Structure formats: C-alpha cells, structure tokens
C-alpha cells in the first residue's frame, strides 16, 4: 500500500517520544505461558485487564493445560469467568480453542497467524497479542478500540476498520516495534489522550500532534 509521507514522518517522531515517555510499556495481562495469554486475551474482550487479572490466578491454578480446559465442565468454566462478562461465549470459545489445540496442535498453542486465527473466538487482534507477547513475534499490530482511536487522532491512519488501520501502522512503523507500539499507545490513551477529555496541555507529544498543531512536518 502507498505510504502517507506525512504519517511516516509523524510515526518516527511519535515512536521516539513513546519510547522516551513509556520505556517499560508492555502487556498488562498476567500470564506464564502462551496458553494462559491466549485465555486471558479472550477474557479481556469487553473487560478491563485489571478484572481479568483478578480472575486468572484461580482459573489457571484450576486449569493448567489445554486438555484441562478442553475437558472442563462448561458450567464450571462459565462460573469461574463470570465476572469478566459475556461468560457464555467466552467459555465456549476457550473450550473450543483448547479442544482444537489438543486435537490439531498436540496440546501446544500454535505460533502462526493462520493457525491461531483458525481457533474458535480468535481473530487477528487476539492472535497478534499472543504472537507478540507470548512468542516474541511481530507479525502485526494489535488494533483495539484505543489504538484505533489514537491512530486517527494522532494523524497516523485514516482507515475505517481495524484491519485497514493495522496495515497503515505496519507501513509506517518498524516491524521490531509493532508490539511495543500497541502497548505504548494504550498507555498514552490512559494517561494523556483519553477519549472524552484529552489532556493536550500536558501531552508530551503536543509539539507535533496534528490535533493541536496544524504545522507538524
């Protein structure tokens, strides 16, 4: 795809500033294996990472493998994740994904985009989270609602879908920084650039953010 030269220059400035402002940006979900990360990411849909982190210690102590999730009582699994919301669908997707992992991948979470997105309840966003944070692979950019909003507000993308925004971000940021980028943008959205009332006067990027300045190239 054609790269917007202005967005490319902005990306370089933002990336430098993001690394300086949020050098330790990383995944806020707590996990010790790709399987735990996969389950936690499924639970995080329409739920805060804080709430997910409250649920997963007991959950992962009860279900220690994909086989455990696959063979679990669906009713008991639903009860264990109830406070994350939409627990019927989440439990069904977790169990379905784990059954497929057992049957097709020898009990191990696969480490490719195509294999991950073949699992029930796993789209490209979830797969990117698992690949980037569970396997250290930058195959794409996680575009959740926060990243989608900030990419537009910061002049980095114009796409109307998460998939289009992801492609735009991949075109202007170095691949090695794709996982960091998502985490840092989410932190920036929480600390400075929230949806309803962005704190532009205190923003560390105000000198070149197009929301504030019309001259930034």
Closest CA to 39 of 23, 61, 22: 61
Q: What angle do CA 28, 29, 31 make, to 5 degrees?
A: 130
Closest CA to 149 of 194, 187, 212: 194
Annotated active-site residue 125? The verdict is yes
Which token pair is 80?
């264990």
Annotated active-site residue 144? The verdict is yes
Spatial CB neighbours of 139, under 8 Å, sequence gap ≥ 6: 113, 127, 128, 131, 132
Catalytic residue selected from 144, 164, 177, 211: 144
Residues involved in catalysis = 125, 144
């Amino acid at each position: 795809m054609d790269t917007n030269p202005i967005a490319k220059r902005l990306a370089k400035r933002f990336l430098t500033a993001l690394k300086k402002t949020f050098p330790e940006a990383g995944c806020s979900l707590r996990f010790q294996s790709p399987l735990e990360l996969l389950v936690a990411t499924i639970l995080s849909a329409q739920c805060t990472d804080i709430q997910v982190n409250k649920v997963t210690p007991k959950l992962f102590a009860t279900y220690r493998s994909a086989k455990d999730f696959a063979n679990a009582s669906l009713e008991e699994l639903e009860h264990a994740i109830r406070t994350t919301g939409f627990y019927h669908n989440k439990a069904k997707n977790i169990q379905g994904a784990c059954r497929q992992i057992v049957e097709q991948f020898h009990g191990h979470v696969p480490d490719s985009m195509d294999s991950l997105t073949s699992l029930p309840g796993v789209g490209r966003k979830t797969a990117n989270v698992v690949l980037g944070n569970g396997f250290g692979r930058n195959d794409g950019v996680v575009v959740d609602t926060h990243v989608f909003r900030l990419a537009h507000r910061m002049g980095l993308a114009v796409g109307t879908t998460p998939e289009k925004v992801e492609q735009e971000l991949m075109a202007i940021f170095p691949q090695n920084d794709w996982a960091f980028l998502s985490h840092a943008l989410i932190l920036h959205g929480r600390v400075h650039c929230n949806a309803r009332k962005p704190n532009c006067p205190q923003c560390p990027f105000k000198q070149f953010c197009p929301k504030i300045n019309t001259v930034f190239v």
